[in-house]
Amino acid sequence: MQQDLTTIKRRSAARLLGALPAAALVAVLAGCASPAGIEPQARPLEGAEVGLAGTEAAPAISLEWWRELGDAQLDRLVERALQDHPDLKVAQARLARAAAGVEGADAARWPQGNGSLDLTRQRYTENGAVPAPLAGSIRNSATLQLSGGWELDFFGRHRAQLEAALGARRAAQAEVAAARVVLAANVVRQYVQLGRLFEQRAIAERTLAQRQEMLELVRQRVAAGLDTQVELRQGEGALPEIRQQIESLDEQIALARHALAALTAQAPGALDDLRPALPALRDVPVPQQLPADLLGRRPDVEAARWRVEAAVRDVQVARTEFYPNVNLTAFVGLSSIGLDRLLEAGSRQYGAGPALRLPVFEAGRLRAQLRGRTADLDAAIESYNAAVLGAVRDVADQLASRRSVERQLREQQQAQAAAEAAYDYAVQRYRAGLGSYLTVLTAEQAVLAQRRLGADLKARTLDTHIALMRALGGGHAADATLARR
């Protein structure tokens, strides 16, 4: 009995000692290869935090919003720019690359296979493990083999990689849309500015004609002894000033045409006959409220949001690196020493089995990798927050400018009407001999200033509308083809 008890104790001690390596391994794994304590610190902003309402229906914005201005010539220029501009093609190339990344991540989820043929002429050592008659001989050897493997996605690594690639592709798609919005806005803005320059030139030409008429009247009055050489020299000196302004405007018109040609991927002289009519461009009302859904359609905000999604998935991939990697592998083929025996039945070889890989002494590397991915996620979230804050400010600025310009335009129209009436009255008094030429010039300068200001405010009204359409995303909506798989 005592002997049996001693035997049981010895066996229990042996089992305990045999279990110690496994327990030590578990302790090492638990202590060294753990992602615990590594979490993102950033938090995405909510719509209410930046002053956006979330309950109202978002007003519809046309994807081709520039057509609302009612200029077919402008429509053609925008369409050409969206087809041919290099910046847009660069964004499309990035999208194609991101799509290729999705295909690669998706392929990794499925079994992989390959075939190989190896031919070798080799001298076998006489002092190694190879026995005679191979030792010291030179022989040909060949291996013809098919092999395959399948990494089982027990912990979701491949799925997370695919989701990260999909997020990157969606972000690239949104960046293409952002490039389209910016390009279209730049074309329309440059077109409006060109129209403003032509309107300013027309005002300068009318002013030149008025001053030529006044100069002729001064000459007649000098000949009649009613005016002096002072008034005559004043009238003559006014003409070069206006001609200089016209020449300056012609220079700006040429430069604006060149800029518009570059935006539409044409030679600098391709638009030398382009002459936009600023008064013909229709003004378009703007929304008074900004629901969060509308601002969320901005492609740059959407791209930032998808970058966050991709970064979240990258963190998940980094976490799965702490878990075992299970592969199923198999091969079948032929192998022989001597090419003449390769296709014999005895040259067959095959095998199959699982392979398990578990990180044990890589905890420092894996935790550093996870910290890096988590930092990338924090950066993506803060970039998203910055995009939201910038978008909110952009829209608020454009709305404030638009409303201010509308009020300025109403006041300017009243001021111009008064200046035109004062000028007409001053001319009538001068012709009747009741007023001086200086009074006429002063009144004319006021009219000229108001006409210029009116053209500038008209252009600014359109410009703020263009900027607001760009700030609101230009009618962008997410592409349905990028739906989650």
| Tens digit of each residue's pLDDT (9 = 90 or more) over 94-109 | 889 888 888 888 888 8
- Separation of alpha carbons 117 and 132, rounded Å: 26
Q: Which of 91, 93, 99, 94 is nearest to 169 (CA)?
A: 99
Largest CA distance in the chain: 153
Q: Is 147 helix (H, G, I), strand (E, B) or coil?
A: strand
Task: Calculate the alpha carbon distances from 260 to 180, 266, 465, 474 in Å.
Answer: 16, 9, 19, 20
pLDDT (0 to 100) of residue 392:
84
The average confidence (pLDDT) of the chain is 81
- Separation of alpha carbons 241 and 210, rounded Å: 13
- Separation of alpha carbons 467 and 461, rounded Å: 10
Would the pLDDT of 22 be above 50? no
pLDDT band at 28 (very low <50, low <70, confident <90, very high): very low
pLDDT (0 to 100) of residue 158:
82
Structure tokens given for 196: 């403003």
pLDDT (0 to 100) of residue 185:
92
* Helix 229-263 with 157-223: angle, nearest 10 deg: 160
Classify burial at 473, counting beta carbons within 10 Å of its beta carbon; exposed 0-12, middle 13-18, buried 19 or more: buried
pLDDT band at 26 (very low <50, low <70, confident <90, very high): very low
pLDDT band at 59 (very low <50, low <70, confident <90, very high): low
Query: Phi and psi for 60 in degrees, rounded to 5?
Result: -80, 135
pLDDT, tens only, 120-168: 988 888 888 888 888 888 888 888 889 888 887 778 888 888 888 888 8
* Helix 299-320 with 157-223: angle, nearest 10 deg: 160
Dihedral of the alpha carbons of 283, 288, 290, 291, in degrees to the nearest 10:
-120
pLDDT (0 to 100) of residue 421:
92
Average pLDDT score over residue span 276-296: 73
pLDDT (0 to 100) of residue 418:
93
Would the pLDDT of 80 be above 60? yes
Would the pLDDT of 261 be above 70? yes
Q: Say which residue the tokens 């740059």 belong to.
A: 300
Average pLDDT score over residue span 168-177: 89
Would the pLDDT of 13 be above 60? no
Quick one: CA dihedral 310, 312, 315, 317, positive or negative? negative
Classify burial at 281, counting beta carbons within 10 Å of its beta carbon; exposed 0-12, middle 13-18, buried 19 or more: buried
Structure tokens given for 464: 């703020």
Q: How far is CA 109 from the centre of its chain?
A: 30
Lowest-pLDDT choice from 9-23, 59-73, 310-324 = 9-23
